[in-house]
Amino acid sequence: MLKHVRATTFERYQFIKEGSSIIAVESAREALECLKQQRFDVIISDFVSASTENLKLAKLADKHFPDTVIIGVVASGGVDSCTRLQACGIDDVIRKPFPFVSLLYTISQQMENRRSGYARQAIAAT
């Protein structure tokens, strides 16, 4: 699992308790380098802004790793920004602040979608 957001000690413990390993990176650029070296089940990326690097990360992961669940974390933004992120390959968007259990639920739900044969659908950005 690639967690492209900073995790508190408690959050890291909870992921490990759930049977996951975490690789935390400081930037989308570092995340892209990690993707060149190995495959991940889940990518969680904090979209502080719709930076070119973050969007490139989402598009690359979507293209080369279609089975990887991609979760975008945003501080604000309406339906348009969520739709734009989903058009780049993000499976789900979570708005800050959120309870940790919501993140676990979202990951679990998206992983189940993958197991049941759900294919990521492109959403046209307006």
> Does 79 map to a domain?
yes
Q: What is the pLDDT along the chain (126 residues), one digit of tens a residue?
A: 444 445 555 555 566 666 667 788 888 888 888 888 888 888 888 877 656 777 888 888 888 888 888 898 887 766 666 777 777 888 888 888 888 888 888 988 888 887 887 655 443 333
> What number of other Cβ atoms are within 10 A of residue 100's Cβ?
13
Q: How many domains does the chain have?
A: 1
Q: Does any domain span residue 19? A: yes
* Strand order through the sheet with 69-74: 23-24, 2-4, 42-46, 69-74, 92-95
Question: The domain spanning residue 40 has which CATH number?
Answer: 3.40.50.2300
Q: What's the pLDDT tens digit per position in 69-104?
A: 889 888 776 666 677 777 788 888 888 888 888 888
**Which pTM value belongs to this model?**
0.73
- Kind plus residue range of the DSSP H or E element containing 106: helix 100-115
